[in-house]
Amino acid sequence: MFIDTNAFLNFFAFSPDDVEELKKLKAFIASGDLVLHLPQQVIAEFVRNREKKIETALDEFSKSSLRPVPLMLRGFAAAAAYNAAKDDFNKAQNELLKAARAEAKAKKLPADEIFEELKSKAKIVKRSDDIYKKALVRKNLGDPPGKDDSLGDRVGLGEPPEQCSGERRSPHSVDGR
């Protein structure tokens, strides 16, 4: 199995994906029912894009807010409860942001930990001239995957079949876009 960098990075963001799903993947790998092929390209992209993905998610979260009570509603009894809830919301939001930034700096977010665990169990696919040449040919032919002007995805999926020989092979790949 191959998992694209974006799928790993989505676990830092607002997405329906769940870190628990990656934990299930660990069990399949541990049982030998699945081999995760993790190209060096994916690892490098993960490291390079991690901070930006985290900062974008935290920035988006920090923009969440409860609006002030309109003047015409301030006389209602529920307005005081709303204002108290708004204060609690702001306090909790600030605490979450502070804790998340500290965990991100220490690389201790759940997505960091599961990525490291999967990486330790994966078959790391080293970059090679052969992979690069095949990716360049696919790019020049306009073959997917990847952006027109990029080799990254093509290099990531450019594993020569001989690196998979003798293993249970899965035709599956997961793309996080």
What average pLDDT does the segment 86-95 reach?
Answer: 98
User: In the structure encoding, which two tokens stand for residue 72, read together?
Assistant: 């015409």
Render pLDDT for 72-86 as a digit per residue (tens, 0 to 9): 999 999 999 999 999
Q: Is the peptide bond before 145 cis (omega within 30 degrees of 0)?
A: yes
Q: Where is pLDDT greater, at 168 or 98?
A: 98
Tell whether 48 is covered by a domain.
yes
> How far apart, in whole angstroms, are the C-alpha atoms of residue 133 and residue 154?
10
- Total domains present in the chain: 1
Whether residue 147 is contained in a domain is answered as: no
Give me the pLDDT at residue 82, please.
Answer: 97
Pairing state of beta strands 173-174 and 37-39? unpaired
Q: pLDDT value at position 154?
A: 59
Domain limits at 67?
A: 2-126
- Predicted local confidence at residue 16, as pLDDT: 59
Distances (CA, A) of 92 to 17, 36, 54, 58, 176: 23, 38, 19, 14, 30
Query: Mapping DSSP to helix (H, G, I), strand (E, B) and coil, where does residue 173 land?
Result: strand
- Is 66 within a domain? yes
